[in-house]
Amino acid sequence: MKQLIVIPCYNTHIYINKLISDLYKNTSTDILIIDDGSSPKISFEKNKLTNIKIIRNNKNRGKGHALKKGFIYANENNYTHVITLDGDLQHDPSEINNFILENQDIDFLIGYRELRKPMPLLRIISNIITSKIISLILNKRIRDSQCGYRRYCLKKIYFKENSSNGYIFESEILLNSVNKSSKLKNIPIKLIYDGSPSHINKFTDTIKFIELILKHIIA
């Protein structure tokens, strides 16, 4: 099993050095950072960093686009699994080995948070509803469909070039990839919520989620 950690980043300058430092304290797994059009460009201390690469987008394309770029890179470089986590330290790097060391036969390893304060009530409700809907469609329990701390088996994921470039991609890839024979496991992670501004547009992304569900049902 050859694993790659993929971190999509957009204007996460204040977090990146601590994130990388904390990852290096816990693992020697290869790391790929996707700088999704940050201004100024994401940079980090490179001393003694031998297994980290950064790919830059000239403009902000969206989290989904960054993840797709990471999956394509992993596939082209013969990785078997990709672990994704966000670049703003809302996913604890000290938990990375819970994903790295999990049985390689698991196709989809999905982190889930205990939904409670300080997370805003509307986000809790939204997460519960979207997770229930996706679970019903897939006939598999997805405890936290909005959590991006995951591990994917590359051979088991499927996405199209025209799939979403935004946050909705993380729901779309589950709907397009998970089937009856898929081995899926939910794994608990810490809830970290510091109240920093979100790049999610609640109205727009809600509409996109409804369109995604209708499209999947009709198909």
The whole model's pTM is what?
0.92
Of 78 and 159, more confident: 78
47: pLDDT strictly greater than 70: no
CA distance 166 to 77: 25
205: pLDDT strictly greater than 90: no
* 193 — pLDDT class (breaks 50, 70, 90): confident
pLDDT (tens digit, 9 = 90+) per residue, 48-103? Answer: 678 999 999 999 999 999 999 999 999 999 999 999 999 999 999 999 999 999 99
CA distance 144 to 129: 10
42: pLDDT strictly greater than 90: no
pLDDT (tens digit, 9 = 90+) per residue, 1-24? Answer: 999 999 999 998 899 999 999 999
**Secondary element (H or E) of residue 84:** strand 81-84
Topology classification of domain 3-218: Spore Coat Polysaccharide Biosynthesis Protein SpsA; Chain A (3.90.550)
| pLDDT > 90 in the chain, percent | 69
The mean predicted confidence, pLDDT, of the chain is: 90
CA distance 42 to 9: 8
